């Protein structure tokens, strides 16, 4: 593609050299640059792409998009001795998404694309929308924490929201596969880092906002602003659907040009729900005046289902058909996943890794148990992440459980015992009397199983769908569900 056509969508501040050149590919990673490529120098959180301009040119880059043009000597000062075109822009991260979108012929314009953002519930909502629309006869794409899908084809994922090049590549494959819709999780990191630049959204859903990712955003206010930016940028003609019961819910709608819609369990809303009865097999609900039985447990899941229903109706689906399909859907892998013990107690595996998510799951269990059994919670916290939430996680677990076992999660490059000590700091003397600290996660789960009696519930929280444990930069196979089934079958 001609460089002139590629940069047409950018707000170019300066061009050094002629833009009458053909580009063979686009990269923001200098190690992946090939002959004839355009290199985009992005300022990241850990590294600055501007430091790798020389390396990209040496590998064959013929053009560079950057925020600062490097000092030029003869032949543009590059080590390869060839002429290179420099395009200066205000924000190269934003430019990357727009460039890649143009390169792939704007795939998101050919899909009905809906983004889901918030602290908790993103994976469940995006995945259930994907499953619902497939059941309605559509070809659909999904971009999520658990796995990406191009209709029925699974594509492994490493990030909640991929980098712009991967993102637009996947969407191009969705278009080529005949997908009409795409649903994606939109993380706060991806909004802040402009990984979603160049995408054309037809709708946005906000779930809730509680403490998370403060190792990155530093303050809750910054975290909120990142989420809000997504809605601020939605176009006229799109819809913005928000949780009216969350204190940040209506904030998301303040400056959006999209159609403003709400869902709620507590107040008047466009999509209103009420829980009638809960049990471990599911929940009886009323949604917009119609009764429905769903295979989900807990108020937090009731909110997720309201968001799914609201989004489907907002996309033109018949309300009655939507409720019928909603009643056939099942929980996402590793989200309130129940495993029954032959001894009469229940184990629940859930991805809850924030204080609020843990509270939601424990409240959901308590609603069903209604005092008829004990709750034993096995929980840890990830290493090299927001340390401030560790004591809060332990405090919530102790407040809502009869027995707590603190253990290792993904320690990454931290010592597991140090993480557990940070969690213990949130516990009172009385809490500690009901708390065990067992660093080895397998032993912690085995201990919980030994303590459980008929009618009890073991919650194993934090890892959910993950089938590994990351220690010192190495991922070792570890699956909570597999461990529990092995214990139950032994």
Check residue 218 and give its pLDDT: 59
462 marked among binding-site residues: yes
481 is in an annotated binding site: no
Check the annotation: does 219 bind a ligand. Answer: no
Residue 195 counted as an annotated binding residue: yes
**Residue 410 among known ligand-binding residues:** yes
What is the DSSP code string of 106-153? -GGGGSEEEEEESSSSHHHHHHHHHHHHHHTT--EEEE-SS-EEETTE
Known binder of ligand: residue 489? no
pLDDT at residue 75 tops 50:
no
pLDDT class for 161, splitting at 50, 70, 90?
Answer: low
N- to C-terminal Cα separation, the chain: 61
When pLDDT is averaged across residues 244-273 and rounded to a whole number, the result is 96
Strand partners, 458: 347, 376
30 is in an annotated binding site: yes
Contact indicator for 115, 26 with CB cutoff of 8 Å: no
Q: Which residue has the higher pLDDT, 214 or 161?
A: 161
Q: Specify the pLDDT at position 375.
A: 98
283 is in an annotated binding site: no
Tens-digit pLDDT profile for residues 363-420: 999 989 988 999 999 999 999 988 999 999 999 999 999 999 999 999 999 999 999 9
Q: What percent of the chain has pLDDT over 70?
A: 95
Determine whether the annotation assigns residue 148 to a binding site.
Answer: no
Which 8-state DSSP code applies to residue 204? E
Helix (H) or strand (E) holding 378: strand 375-379
The percent helix, strand, coil of the chain (3-state, each to 5) is 35, 25, 40
pLDDT digits (tens, 9 = 90+) for 426-458: 999 999 999 999 999 999 999 999 999 999 999
Using alpha carbons, list the distances in angstroms from residue 252 to 246, 247, 300, 310. 11, 10, 19, 16
- Would the annotation count 409 as a binding residue? yes
pLDDT of residue 77: 47
Report whether 264 belongs to an annotated binding site: no
Packing angle of the helix pair 92-103, 164-176 (nearest 10 deg) = 20
Buried b (16+ CB within 10 A) or exposed e, 287-307: bbeeebebebbbbbbbbbbbb
43 labelled ligand-binding:
no
Is 121 within any annotated ligand binding site? yes
Which uninterrupted H or E stretch holds 229? Answer: helix 220-232
Spatial distance between the Cα atoms of 59 and 32, rounded to a whole number of angstroms: 9
User: Is pLDDT at 36 greater than 70 in this prediction?
Assistant: yes
Does the pLDDT at position 73 exceed 60?
A: no
The pTM for the full model equals 0.83
Summarize pLDDT for 233-244 with one digit per residue, the tens: 999 999 999 999
What is the average pLDDT across 34-42? 96
Q: What is the pLDDT of residues 179-212, one digit of tens each?
A: 999 999 998 888 988 889 999 999 999 999 875 5
- Predicted pLDDT of residue 19: 81
Integer Rg of the chain from CA: 24
What confidence score (pLDDT) does residue 314 get? 98
* Separation between Cα atoms, residue 10 and residue 248, nearest integer Å: 33
- Band of residue 311 on the pLDDT scale cut at 50, 70, 90: very high
Q: What is the largest CA-CA distance in the chain?
A: 81
DSSP 404-426: EEE--S--BTS-HHHHHHHHHTT
Give me the pLDDT at residue 160, please. Answer: 58
CA angle 452, 457, 458 (to 5 degrees): 75
Which pLDDT does position 248 carry in this prediction?
A: 92
Q: Angle at CA 75, nearest 5°, toward 74 and 77?
A: 70
pLDDT of residue 145: 82
Question: Does 122 carry a binding-site annotation?
Answer: yes
Rounded alpha-carbon distances, angstroms, from residue 471 to 19, 213, 281, 322, 474 = 48, 20, 36, 43, 5
Place of tokens 């205000």: 90
Share of the chain above pLDDT 90, in %: 81
Please tell me whether 385 is known to bind a ligand. yes
Task: Confirm whether residue 304 is marked as ligand binding.
Answer: no
CB atoms within 10 A of CB 51: 12
- Please give the average per-residue pLDDT across 140-163, as a whole number: 86
pLDDT mean over 35-61: 92
């Amino acid at each position: 593609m001609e460089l002139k056509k590629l940069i047409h969508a950018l707000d170019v501040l300066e061009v050094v050299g002629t833009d009458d050149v053909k580009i063979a590919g686009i990269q923001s990673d200098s190690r992946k640059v090939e002959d004839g490529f355009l290199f985009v120098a992005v300022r990241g959180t850990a590294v600055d792409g501007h430091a790798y301009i020389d390396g990209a040119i040496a590998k064959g880059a013929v053009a560079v998009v950057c925020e600062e043009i490097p000092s030029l000597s003869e032949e543009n000062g590059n080590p390869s001795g060839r002429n290179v075109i420099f395009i200066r822009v205000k924000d190269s991260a934003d430019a990357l998404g727009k460039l890649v979108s143009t390169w792939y012929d704007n795939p998101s314009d050919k899909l009905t694309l809906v983004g889901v953002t918030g602290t908790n519930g993103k994976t469940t909502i995006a995945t259930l929308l994907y499953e619902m629309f497939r059941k309605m006869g559509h070809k659909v794409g999904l971009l999520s924490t658990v796995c990406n899908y191009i209709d029925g084809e699974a594509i492994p994922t490493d990030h909640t929201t991929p980098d712009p090049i991967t993102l637009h590549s996947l969407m191009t494959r969705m278009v080529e596969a005949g997908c009409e819709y795409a649903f994606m999780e939109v993380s706060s990191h991806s909004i802040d880092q402009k990984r979603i630049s160049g995408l054309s959204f037809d709708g946005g859903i906000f779930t809730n906002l509680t403490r998370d990712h403060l190792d990155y955003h530093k303050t809750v206010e910054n975290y909120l602003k990142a989420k809000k930016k997504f809605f601020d940028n939605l176009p006229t003609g799109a819809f913005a659907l928000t949780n009216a019961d969350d204190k940040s819910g209506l904030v998301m709608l303040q400056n959006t040009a999209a159609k403003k819609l709400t869902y709620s369990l507590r107040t008047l809303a466009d999509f209103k729900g009420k829980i009638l009865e809960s049990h471990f097999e599911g929940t009886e609900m009323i949604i917009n005046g119609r009764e429905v039985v769903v295979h989900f447990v807990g108020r937090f899941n009731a909110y997720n289902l309201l968001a799914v229903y609201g989004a489907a109706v907002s996309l033109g689906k018949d309300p009655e058909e939507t409720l019928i399909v909603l009643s056939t859907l099942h929980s996402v892998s590793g989200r309130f996943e129940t495993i029954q013990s032959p001894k009469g107690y229940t184990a629940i595996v859930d991805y809850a890794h924030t204080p609020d998510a843990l509270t939601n799951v424990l409240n959901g269990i308590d609603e069903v148990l209604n005092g008829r059994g004990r709750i034993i919670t096995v929980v840890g916290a990830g290493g090299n992440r927001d340390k401030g939430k560790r004591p809060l996680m332990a405090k919530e677990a102790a407040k809502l459980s009869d027995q707590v076992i603190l253990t290792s999660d993904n320690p990454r490059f931290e010592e597991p015992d140090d993480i557990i000590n940070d969690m213990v700091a949130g516990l009172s003397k009385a809490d500690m009397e009901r708390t065990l600290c067992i660093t080895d996660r397998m032993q912690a789960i085995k201990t919980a199983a030994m303590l459980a009696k008929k009618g009890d519930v073991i919650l194993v929280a934090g890892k959910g769908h993950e089938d590994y444990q990351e220690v010192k930069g190495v991922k070792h196979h570890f699956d909570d569900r597999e461990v529990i089934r092995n214990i139950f079958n032994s």
